[in-house]
Amino acid sequence: MAKEAASMVVSMRLPTESAKRLRRMANRHGWTPSDASARLVEEGLRRTEFAFIDFRDTPAGRQACIQASSLAVWEIMQLVRSYKGDAAAVAKHLGWPLVKIQAAVHYAEAYPQEINEAITENSETEFAALKQMLPQTVEFVPKRPAKR
pLDDT at 2 over 70: no
Is the full-model pTM beyond 0.75? yes
Q: Which residue has the higher pLDDT, 120 or 133?
A: 120
pLDDT for 103-131, tens place per residue?
999 999 999 999 999 999 888 877 777 77
Task: Indicate the fold that domain 53-127 takes in CATH.
Answer: Arc Repressor Mutant, subunit A (1.10.10)
Q: Where are the domains of the chain?
A: 18-49, 53-127
Q: What is the mean pLDDT of residues 50-61?
A: 92
pLDDT at 142 over 70: no
C-alpha 58: how far from its chain's center? 8
pLDDT for 79-95, tens place per residue?
999 999 999 999 999 99
Cα distances from 96 to residues 49, 80, 92, 102, in angstroms, run 21, 13, 6, 11
